[in-house]
Amino acid sequence: MLNFCLKPALLLTILFTLPIIAIRAQQYEDRVTPILINDDCPTPCFMGIRPGVTPMRESGEILDNHEWVANGRADFPKEIRDAPLFDTVLRKAIVNWYWSDTLPDWIVGDQRGSMTIRDVLVTDMSIATRLTLGEIILAFGSPTQVYFSTSKDGQRFQYAGWYEQHGIVVITQGNCPLSQSYYLPVQAIFVSSQPQISNGVARSSVCG
């Protein structure tokens, strides 16, 4: 009688286990690294612009001629357009641009790209993406530094992770539970130096 019961149970266990094994055995397709890391341009780098290295004048020329950008330097604020002409040092300025129809589908086209200029150099670039936090962690591993914050009512959270080796910060936010964060799209920020990310709150206290 015991053998009679054990055989169907064993069969059911095998039937339920095999799909799990098959799923885990599938090779993970990393689309993050080829998108965010360019072998021909040392990190951090995006669209050929390197925060901390690329001068304001050169970044304007790149945006002028890039197929993903709908508006060029002519649409930038006057202080930025004139600065290269007079070798002006800008304390801090933010440049935004609109995306063209040739944009790859991993970039959110209705949210403008932006970069910060300080003195005469680009210091960071921010891009809204459709890449999820889960994809980022699978591709890059654990961040060098992590920041968590939560809303006063405890129903929402914000996450920021800095990858020092790539010069990239990823940011996302959403509704609790925290486990949903892996499915949320991230803002990718290419930075020239360590960002100012405070300690925030402990992960265990988020969405508690």
pLDDT tens across 147-200, in order? 888 888 888 999 999 999 999 999 999 998 888 889 999 999 999 888 876 666
- Residue tagged 């286990």 (tokens): 17
Average pLDDT, the chain: 82
Q: Is the pLDDT of residue 14 over 70?
A: no
Contacting residues for 163 by C-beta, under 8 A, at least 6 apart: 140, 143, 144, 169, 170
Q: Is the pLDDT of residue 24 over 60?
A: no
pTM: predicted TM-score of the whole model, two decimal places? 0.79
Domain boundaries, the chain: 30-205
Q: Do the strands 121-132 and 145-150 form a parallel or antiparallel pair, or are they unpaired?
A: unpaired
pLDDT tens across 101-157, in order? 999 999 999 999 999 988 888 999 999 999 999 999 999 999 999 988 888 888 899
- Residue tagged 């959110």 (tokens): 108
Contacting residues for 95 by C-beta, under 8 A, at least 6 apart: 59, 63, 76, 77, 80, 114, 115, 116, 117
